[in-house]
Structure formats: structure tokens, C-alpha cells
Amino acid sequence: LTAENLRNNVLKAVTFQLEIPKVPNCEQAFNQMINVAQKLSGSLNAHIVDDNQKPLGDLQIEKIRQQLKIIHATMVARGVMPGSLASMRLFN
């Protein structure tokens, strides 16, 4: 799958999803996901939007990042380490 193939084919959306319980460092995974989404949108002359099709800019991305930090901290405080076998069993 190349950028050229994507440009020449009908493609309505690419969805990125982060399953917090399955990654040990959700902030790092989120940052990597956003970087890939930004590169992909740039090469395809596309837009990054949320699940309601509203533009996802730096402010919205930072809000999501802060929410992820809270979820991660809550899991850790409750003894559930994201990315651990216990976490994956609990959330599967």
C-alpha cells in the first residue's frame, strides 16, 4: 500500500484506534499514532478528523493526550498496569 495507490483509489477514511489497556505507554503510542496520521494526511492532502468528522487540531489532540494521562494514571492507581497480561485479560 503506497501513497500513490491511496491517491488513485477511492478511500473515504483511515481509522486509528488506541487500546489503552494493551500498551504499556499510551502517551508514547498516541504520539506515534498522531505522527503517522499527520504524515499520511499530508501525503494524501487529507484532513485529520475525530469520530464526528470534526477537524482534529493541536488543541483537540492535546485534550485527548491529557485524557489518556488521566486514564493511564487511574489504571495504575488501581493496580492495573497498561500493557500487562492482567490488563489485557481484564479488558478483552
Check residue 6 and give its pLDDT.
67
Q: Once rounded to an integer, what is the mean pLDDT over residues 38-60?
A: 93
Q: Where exactly are the structural domains of the chain?
A: 3-91
For 22, half-sphere exposure in the C-beta direction (CA atoms, 13 angstrom radius) is: 6
- Confidence tier at 1 by pLDDT (50, 70, 90): low
CA distance 1 to 3: 7
